[in-house]
């Protein structure tokens, strides 16, 4: 598949961080990966991992451009730089305009910029990554891969809110969904692993990381998902609330004087596992404390799995048939406890857990963790970076379209 040993650089640029990975075109394992963090702060640094060996370099308060300079120097030192033939960038929000990944040009950049108000925290940072890479590597195709694109196949019944339609027309208020690159990768892997018919299958995929969303996939296409206009809707997350009655916010505005900033801060940063447990946003800590009898941690775990099972059940109604429930993301790939508690709540679908397989399928392993004749429960580690690399390689014409 690989042509001329081409390499693909993947960049996921945040406001103060820049994650990167380098893939040989057509291959799923990176040659190098790493992270520049605390950019623009005194402690700015960049860490690169090559064959499990990590090296860290201080950036002395510098920002994204300096981080990219160091990254390009590291690539040159390993004789990789001249083989980089495409760069793939993660972009959080593409609105309705972007239904698939695209090669960047000035018009595309302007169109992406027009969506900044839909993801004011993320999109400008993602764009900064693209502009910086374009400035340093103007002759290399830059490909943008959107978190929202995979969900553009949702029907209006799934994406419309029951609000006045003028809000949709004039302000783009609708459900878009996120984590699309992960859901797309895991859906393809599930078809392969379970030998499903690509044209006839139904999956519910639960991507459970610090953020979390679940998606119903019918014959390879997203037909419903739990995240909405923003990544705040749906499941209980590390610090995000997921579903909340908007009436509660009206109540707090009227009775507790909450303004928009307070809502934003509490719903995004102080809620979820952290809010309920009053202890931690980290599932490992929650599980540990719950096992020792911490009341808040037990409640957080209960609400987390209740909401997850409830959403999986709801998503299944968008499918003619449920072949499998698939777990992915840090929690989905590693927490046999969350998987067990969730599957125990899905008896109505006839899913039965295989305890031994569930306990054994952790740390990057994939496999079936159910038994019996009902729908399968499955674990599949996600690989969003590779999916971005694949799109970039295909759109740059380095590998054949899959
Ligand atoms: P992100 O969304 O930032 O990419 P990850 O997919 O890495 O996050 O998921 C992070 C979450 O996975 C954290 O809540 C962490 O506690 C959880 N996690 C990782 N390993 C385990 C484990 N062994 N058991 C339970 N939870 C785990």
Asked if residue 180 is part of any domain, the answer here is no
Ligand 1 pocket test target in 237, 284, 385 with most atoms within 8 Å of CB: 284
Are 111 and 211 found together in one domain?
no
Q: Give distance in angstroms: CA of 280 to centre of ligand 1.
A: 12
Indicate if 133 and 244 belong to the same structural domain. Answer: no
Domain boundary among 153, 187, 219: 153
Q: How far is the CA of 328 from the centre of ligand 1 (A)?
A: 10
- Asked, for residue 186, whether it belongs to a domain, the answer is no
Q: Is 207 annotated as a binding residue?
A: yes
Distances in whole angstroms, Cα of residue 49 to Cα of each of 1, 70, 116, 136:
25, 14, 32, 22
For residues 80 and 145, membership in a common domain is answered with: yes
User: Are 277 and 365 in a shared domain?
Assistant: yes
Residue 394 falls within a domain, yes or no?
Answer: no
Q: Are residues 79 and 218 in the same domain?
A: no
- Tell whether 68 is covered by a domain: yes
Question: pTM of the entire structure?
Answer: 0.96
In this prediction, residue 15 carries a pLDDT of 84
Say whether 209 counts as a known binding-site residue: yes
Residue nearest to atom 23 of ligand 1 (CA): 334
Which residues approach ligand 1 with their CB closer than 6 A?
209-211, 238, 282-284, 287, 329-331, 334-335
Alpha carbon distance 359, 354 (integer Å):
9
Q: Is 170 marked as a binding-site residue?
A: no
Is residue 137 domain-shared with residue 210, that is, in the same domain?
Answer: no
- 322 labeled part of a ligand binding site: no
CATH of the domain at 331: 3.30.420.40
Please count the structural domains in the chain: 2
What confidence score (pLDDT) does residue 402 get?
Answer: 85
Among 301, 354, 321, residue whose Cα is nearest residue 204: 321
Cα-to-centroid distance, 261 and ligand 1 (Å): 28
What integer pLDDT is reported at residue 3 of this predicted model? Answer: 47
Catalytic residue among 43, 52, 147, 355: 147
Please indicate, yes or no, whether residues 219 and 360 belong to a single structural domain of this protein.
Answer: yes
* Model pLDDT, residue 1: 42
pLDDT of 59:
96
**328: Cβ contacts below 8 Å, ≥ 6 apart:** 182, 186, 205, 206, 207, 208, 379, 380, 381, 382
Tokens coding 145: 């891969």
* 262 domain residue, yes or no: yes
Q: What atom of ligand 1 comes closest to residue 286's alpha carbon?
A: 16
324 and 375 in a single domain? The answer is yes
Decide: 16 and 41 in contact? Cβ < 8 Å.
Answer: yes
The domain of 317 spans 196-384
Tell me what pLDDT residue 99 has. Answer: 97
Domain for residue 181, yes or no?
no
Q: Are residues 370 and 247 in the same domain?
A: yes
DSSP 295-354: HHHHHHHHHHHHHHHHHHHHHHTTSS---EEEEEHHHHHH-HHHHHHHHHTTGGGT-EE-
254 lies in the same domain as 330:
yes
Domain boundary pick from 99, 126, 153: 153
Q: Is residue 400 part of a domain?
A: no
| pLDDT tens per residue across all 402 residues of the chain | 444 589 999 999 988 899 999 999 989 999 999 999 999 999 999 999 999 899 999 999 999 999 999 999 999 999 999 999 999 999 999 999 999 999 999 999 999 999 899 998 889 999 999 999 999 999 999 999 999 999 999 999 999 999 999 999 999 999 999 999 999 999 999 999 999 999 999 999 999 999 999 999 999 999 999 999 999 999 999 999 999 999 999 999 999 999 999 999 999 999 999 999 999 999 999 999 999 999 999 999 999 999 999 999 999 999 999 999 999 999 999 999 999 999 999 999 999 999 999 999 999 999 999 999 999 999 999 999 999 999 999 999 999 988
Indicate whether 268 and 371 sit together in one domain.
yes
Q: Is 323 in the active site?
A: no
Task: Provide the β-strand partners of residue 36.
Answer: 18, 46
In a domain, 2, yes or no: no
Are 213 and 356 part of one and the same domain?
yes
Contact 266, 242 (CB under 8 A): no
CA of 331 to the centre of ligand 1 (A): 5
């Amino acid at each position: 598949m690989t042509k001329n040993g081409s390499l693909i650089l993947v960049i996921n640029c945040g406001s103060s961080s820049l994650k990167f990975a380098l893939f040989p075109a057509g291959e799923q394992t990176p040659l190098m990966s790493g992270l520049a963090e605390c950019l623009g702060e005194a402690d700015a640094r960049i860490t690169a991992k090559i064959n499990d060996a990590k090296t860290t370099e201080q950036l002395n308060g510098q920002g994204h451009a300096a981080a990219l300079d160091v990254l390009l120097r590291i690539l040159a030192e390993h004789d990789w730089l001249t083989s980089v033939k495409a760069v793939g960038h993660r972009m959080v929000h593409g609105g309705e305009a972007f239904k698939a990944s695209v090669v960047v040009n000035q018009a595309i950049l302007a169109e992406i910029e027009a969506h900044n108000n839909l993801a004011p925290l993320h999109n400008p940072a993602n764009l900064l990554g693209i502009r910086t890479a374009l400035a340093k590597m103007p002759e290399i195709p830059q490909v943008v891969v959107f978190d929202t694109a995979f969900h553009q196949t949702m029907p209006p019944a799934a994406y419309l809110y029951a609000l006045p339609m003028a809000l949709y027309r004039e302000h783009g208020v609708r459900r878009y969904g996120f984590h699309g690159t992960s859901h797309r990768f895991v859906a393809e892997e599930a078809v392969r692993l379970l030998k499903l018919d690509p044209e006839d299958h139904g999956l519910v995929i639960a991507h459970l990381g610090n953020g979390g969303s679940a998606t119903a996939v019918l014959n390879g296409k997203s037909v419903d998902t739990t995240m909405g206009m923003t990544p705040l809707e749906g499941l209980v997350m590390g610090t995000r609330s997921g579903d909340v009655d908007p009436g509660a916010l009206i109540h707090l505005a009227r009775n507790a004087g909450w303004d928009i900033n307070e809502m934003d801060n509490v719903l995004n940063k102080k809620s979820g596992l952290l809010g309920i447990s009053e202890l931690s946003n980290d599932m490992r800590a929650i599980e540990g404390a719950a096992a020792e009898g911490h009341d808040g941690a037990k409640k957080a775990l209960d609400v987390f799995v209740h909401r997850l099972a409830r959403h999986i059940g709801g998503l299944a109604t968008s499918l003619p048939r449920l072949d499998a429930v698939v777990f992915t993301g840090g929690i989905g790939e590693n927490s046999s406890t969350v998987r067990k508690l969730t599957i125990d709540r899905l008896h109505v679908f006839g899913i039965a857990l295989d305890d031994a397989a569930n306990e054994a399928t952790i740390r990057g392993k994939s496999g079936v963790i159910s038994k019996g004749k009902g729908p399968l429960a499955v674990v599949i580690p996600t690989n969003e970076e590779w999916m971005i690399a694949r799109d970039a390689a295909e759109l740059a014409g380095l590998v054949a379209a899959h």
